[in-house]
Homo-oligomer: A and B are copies of this chain.
Amino acid sequence: MHYDKKSIDQLDRVTRLKIINSVTGVKPGNLIGTVSENGYTNLAIFSSIVHLGSNPSLLGFISRPQTEEVGHTLRNIQQTGCYTINHIHPKFAEKAHYTSAKFPNDVSEFDACELSESYINNFKAPFVKESVFKMGLRFKEAIDIKLNGTVLVIGEIEEIIIPGNAFVNGDIDLEESEGVGISGLNTYYSLKKIGSYPYARLNEIPNF
A180 to B24, CA, bound (A): 11
Max chain B Cβ within 10 angstroms of own Cβ: one of A8, A13, A17, A49: A8
For A135, what are the chain B residues with a Cβ–Cβ distance below 8 Å? 23
Q: Which partner residue on chain B sits nearest A152 by CB separation?
A: B152
Known: A187-B171, A187-B196. A50 touches B25 (CB 8 A): no
Known: A1-B161, A159-B2, A189-B192. A94 touches B25 (CB 8 A): no
Q: Does A158 contact B (CB under 8 A)?
A: yes
Q: Which of B5, B170, B189 contacts A193 (CB 8 A)?
A: B189
Q: Does A190 contact B (CB under 8 A)?
A: yes
For chain A, the bracket of interface size reads: 35 or more
Known: A152-B152, A181-B26. A197 touches B2 (CB 8 A): no
Contact A3 B53 (CB under 8 A): no
Q: Which partner residue on chain B sits nearest A55 by CB separation?
A: B16
Contact B18 A191 (CB under 8 A): no
Q: Does A154 contact B (CB under 8 A)?
A: yes
A120 to B1, CA, bound (A): 13
Q: Does A10 contact B (CB under 8 A)?
A: no
Q: Does A97 contact B (CB under 8 A)?
A: yes
Contact A158 B4 (CB under 8 A): yes
For A26, what are the chain B residues with a Cβ–Cβ distance below 8 Å? 26-28, 174, 179-181, 191
Q: Which partner residue on chain B sits nearest A14 by CB separation?
A: B170
Contact B98 A200 (CB under 8 A): yes
Q: Does A54 contact B (CB under 8 A)?
A: yes
A187 to B3, CA, bound (A): 32
Q: How far is the CB of A18 from chain B (nearest CB, A)?
A: 6
For A55, what are the chain B residues with a Cβ–Cβ distance below 8 Å? 13, 16, 20
Q: How far is the CB of A193 from chain B (nearest CB, A)?
A: 6
A185 to B198, CA, bound (A): 9
Known: A98-B200, A175-B189. A141 touches B152 (CB 8 A): no
Give 5 A-B contacts (CB < 8 Å), ordered by A residue: A15-B170, A50-B62, A94-B208, A113-B208, A179-B183
